């Protein structure tokens, strides 16, 4: 994202968490391939948060969502009035967690906080400084933490990308979190292949007709939760048609006909954000919301439990649960 924005002529600073990560980038040069093929220099790459964000007009948080708390804590002392911060994506209820951490760490600045419902690119990074952007998604939705900020945030993002649209609320971006459908369960159902370092196409080879059928049932739990919460979100097949122009009558057919997924490889390690991010910041808060509105999420709860057993970590306890977020208040705020 930093390289793409720099290629459009903007001054870009990039934050990396440790000095070792900063040193991985040679001469601040990025060689981009895919929808753009070019080389660009990033103005600054630093592990000093103050240095990176102090003059920033727009701050794009692109870490996996389980690190939003850490980023917010580091950012809190340096934000000032009028700056915009967008989580890319927020996953589910990301702005609420981010705002809570900012306030608990002494940040009282009036910022424009928002989140996207998905990352704008389908992309991978083969090695530091060599991003591969397979495709830019259509109709990416943005919601402000405060609804009055949504249009302004959308306008900012449309200057950089294209086809960015306003979402009605944080409920809409949070329950449009397709990562909870495509990431944890296929990873768990292919975990021995991943553990063996097998090279295979994650979507095309890893989501078989059987897996796709289960994913459609899982998606029914997500859309039913949204409906009971008073909103409508796109079912996964319609989401693929809207974002990628995919074609097909079933989820399996739609995935097989999604060009952006044609060469995306599976993770090479079982310790992947497809588990740690998408369960803690997607499956858990959606499961908690479902209980609030009276929807049974048998499959989603099974995914959380199954992953907790395999990874020896209580994901329901560590995720965005009712102890960390007031799910009922989030629901009331956004209706």
Three-state SS letters, 98-132: HHHHHHHCCCCCCCEEEEECCCCEEEEECCCCCEE
Instruction: Tokens for 5, please give them.
Output: 């924005």
Looking at residue 279, what is its pLDDT?
98
The parent domain of residue 277 ranges over 179-333
Please identify, among 141, 175, 209, the residue that sits at the C-terminal boundary of a domain: 175
The answer to whether residues 167 and 217 belong to one domain is no
Please write the tens of the pLDDT for every residue from 54-71.
Answer: 999 999 999 999 999 999
CB burial readout 321-334, b (16+ within 10 A) else e: beebbebeebeeeb
Question: Domain check: are 106 and 193 in the same one?
Answer: no
Largest CA distance in the chain: 54
The answer to whether 188 and 306 have CB atoms below 8 angstroms apart is yes
Average pLDDT, integer, range 247-271: 95
Same domain, 115 and 248: no
pLDDT of residue 126: 79
Mean pLDDT on 74-79 = 97
Q: Which residue among 175, 207, 240 closes a domain?
A: 175
pLDDT band at residue 26 using 50, 70 and 90 as cut-offs: confident
The pTM of the full predicted model, rounded to 2 decimals, is 0.94
Per-residue pLDDT, 335: 76
Burial of 85 from C-beta contacts in 10 A (0-12 / 13-18 / 19+): buried
Taking only the tens place, the pLDDT of each residue in 79-101 is 999 999 999 999 999 999 999 99
Residues 204 and 318 in one domain: yes
The reply to whether 156 and 188 lie within a common domain is: no
Query: Please, which pLDDT band fits residue 35 given cuts at 50, 70 and 90?
Result: very high
Using DSSP, state whether 142 is helix, strand or coil.
strand
Whether the per-residue pLDDT at 330 is higher than 80: the answer is: yes
Statement to judge: residues 167 and 186 lie in one domain: no
End-to-end Cα separation, the chain, in angstroms: 32
Residues 170 and 233 in one domain: no
Residues 84 and 219 in one domain: no
How much is the pLDDT for 162? 86
Q: What is the pLDDT of residue 17?
A: 87
- We report the CATH number of the domain holding residue 268 as 1.10.1040.10
Give the total number of structural domains in the chain. Answer: 2
What percentage of the chain has pLDDT greater than the value 90?
A: 92
42 with 155, same domain? yes
Average pLDDT, the chain: 96
Both 132 and 82 in a single domain?
yes
**204 and 231 fall within a common domain:** yes
pLDDT of residue 193: 98
Confidence at residue 334, expressed as pLDDT on a 0 to 100 scale: 84
What distance in Å separates the CA atoms of residue 120 and residue 150, rounded to the nearest whole number?
Answer: 17
Over residues 271-285, mean pLDDT: 98
Rg (CA), the chain: 19
**Which tokens sit at 283?**
């499956």
Specify the CATH number for the domain of residue 54.
3.40.50.720
- Is the pLDDT assigned to residue 125 strictly greater than 90? no
| pLDDT range class, residue 115, cuts 50, 70, 90 | very high
Please check whether residues 205 and 250 belong to one and the same domain: yes
Average pLDDT value for residue range 131-151: 95
Domain-ending residue, one of 159, 175, 191: 175
């Amino acid at each position: 994202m930093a390289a793409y924005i720099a290629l459009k002529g903007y001054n870009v600073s990039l934050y990396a968490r440790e000095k070792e990560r900063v040193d991985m980038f040679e001469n601040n040069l990025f060689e981009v391939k895919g929808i753009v093929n070019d080389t660009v220099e990033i103005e600054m790459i630093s592990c000093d948060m103050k240095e990176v964000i102090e003059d920033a007009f727009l701050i794009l948080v692109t870490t996996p969502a389980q690190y939003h708390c850490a980023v917010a804590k580091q950012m809190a002392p340096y934000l000032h009035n009028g700056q915009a911060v967008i989580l890319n994506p927020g996953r589910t209820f990301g702005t609420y967690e981010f705002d809570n951490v900012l306030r608990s760490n002494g940040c009282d600045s009036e910022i424009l906080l928002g989140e996207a419902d998905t990352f704008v690119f389908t992309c991978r990074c083969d090695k530091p400084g060599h991003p591969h952007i397979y495709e830019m998604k259509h109709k990416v939705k943005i919601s402000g933490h405060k609804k009055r900020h949504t249009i302004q945030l959308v306008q900012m993002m449309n200057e950089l990308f294209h086809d960015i649209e306003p979402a009605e609320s944080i409920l809409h971006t949070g329950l449009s979190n397709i990562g909870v459908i495509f990431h944890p369960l296929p990873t768990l159902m292919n975990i021995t292949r991943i553990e063996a370092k097998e090279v295979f196409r994650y979507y095309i080879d890893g989501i078989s007709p059987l897996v796709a059928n289960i994913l459609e049932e899982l998606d029914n739990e997500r859309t039913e939760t949204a409906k009971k919460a008073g909103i409508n979100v796109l079912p996964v097949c319609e989401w693929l048609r809207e974002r990628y122009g995919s074609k097909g009558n079933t989820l399996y057919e739609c995935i097989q006909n999604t060009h952006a997924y044609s060469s995306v490889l599976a993770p090479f390690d079982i310790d992947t954000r497809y588990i740690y991010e998408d369960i803690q910041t997607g499956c858990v808060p959606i499961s908690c919301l479902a209980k609030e509105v009276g929807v049974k999420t048998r499959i989603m709860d099974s995914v959380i439990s199954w992953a907790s057993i395999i990874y020896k970590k209580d994901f329901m306890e560590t995720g965005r649960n009712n102890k960390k977020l007031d799910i009922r208040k989030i629901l009331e705020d956004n209706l």
